[in-house]
């Protein structure tokens, strides 16, 4: 009797597991990104948790916020290898969804501070960057965003390609700046200080780095294999260290 019950239990368990495996993955799903570099004091916050210490190889999903303190920095990479560099004294929030392996909606809100970006072009998606007073729609370009909560001034810089911000087209070498929500912004040629907003180079911060750096490996290989098999889903493999210093390897797509 016990043997029969055990066999029946195993059969039912196998049937349930098979049905779960065959169940199609629900779309849309939240996007994912990975924190691959942390300098000094960086914190993360999910919709369900309070602020906590952020470390390299942390996964960031839709609704996550990131905060950098004085002389701190964070670098974020998405599966398509789009890259964000969050400078000191900043707060940013990431949102987005994907369907059938393709990102269809993605946005980054800069509550305060400075962020540089290098966005890879997608077929169906426009990457939106916003501040409390302005919104930019970007499709495959490089630049930066700066928002001062002291005088409520937002600055958007384009260093490669072009994008729209508050209904204005911004080309490479141009900057858009808006003072307060009640005022119209203006487009001008970028100055040296403007270009610094869009700087994604973090080599000068290596000496201040205290927590280590996640490393991206196998990015190009993963994309090439997917394309060769007719699967355009971008994948990213990250090797880094967790809070205890243990090496971890994670994959996102």
Using one digit for the tens of pLDDT, what is the confidence trace for 161-211? 999 999 999 999 999 999 998 888 999 999 999 999 999 988 755 545 544
**CA 179 to CA 205: how far, in whole Å?**
30
SS3 assignment, position 196: helix
**CA 146 to CA 111: how far, in whole Å?**
9
The structure tokens listed for 57 are 């190889």
Asked whether 72 and 39 are in contact (CB, 8 A), the reply is yes
Structure confidence by residue, pLDDT tens digits, 194-208: 999 999 988 755 545
Q: How many CB atoms lie within 10 A of CB 216?
A: 19
Domains of the chain in sequence order = 29-252 (2.60.120.1440)
Question: What's this model's pTM, rounded to 2 decimal places?
Answer: 0.75
């Amino acid at each position: 009797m016990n043997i029969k019950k055990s066999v029946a239990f195993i059969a039912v368990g196998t049937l349930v597991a098979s049905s779960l495996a065959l169940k199609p993955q629900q779309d849309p799903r939240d996007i994912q990104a990975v924190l691959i570099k942390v300098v000094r004091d960086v914190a993360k916050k999910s919709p369900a948790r309070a602020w906590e210490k952020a470390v390299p190889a942390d996964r960031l999903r839709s609704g996550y916020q990131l905060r950098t303190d004085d002389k701190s920095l964070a670098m974020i990479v998405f599966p398509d290898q789009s890259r964000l560099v969050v400078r000191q004294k900043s707060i940013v929030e990431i949102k987005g969804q994907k369907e059938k392996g393709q990102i269809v909606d993605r946005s980054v809100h800069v509550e305060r501070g400075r962020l540089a970006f290098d966005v890879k072009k997608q077929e169906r998606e426009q990457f939106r960057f916003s501040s409390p007073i302005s919104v930019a729609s970007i499709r495959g370009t490089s630049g930066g965003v700066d928002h001062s909560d002291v005088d409520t001034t937002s600055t958007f810089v384009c260093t490669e390609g072009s994008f729209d911000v508050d209904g204005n087209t911004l080309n490479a070498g141009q900057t858009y700046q808006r003072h307060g929500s009640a005022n119209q912004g203006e487009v001008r040629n970028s100055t040296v200080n403007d270009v610094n907003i869009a700087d994604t180079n973090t080599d000068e911060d290596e000496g201040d780095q205290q927590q280590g750096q996640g490393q991206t490996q196998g990015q190009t290989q993963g994309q090439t294999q997917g394309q060769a098999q007719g699967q355009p889903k971008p994948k990213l493999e990250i090797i880094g260290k967790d809070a205890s210093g243990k090496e971890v390897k994670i994959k996102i797509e």
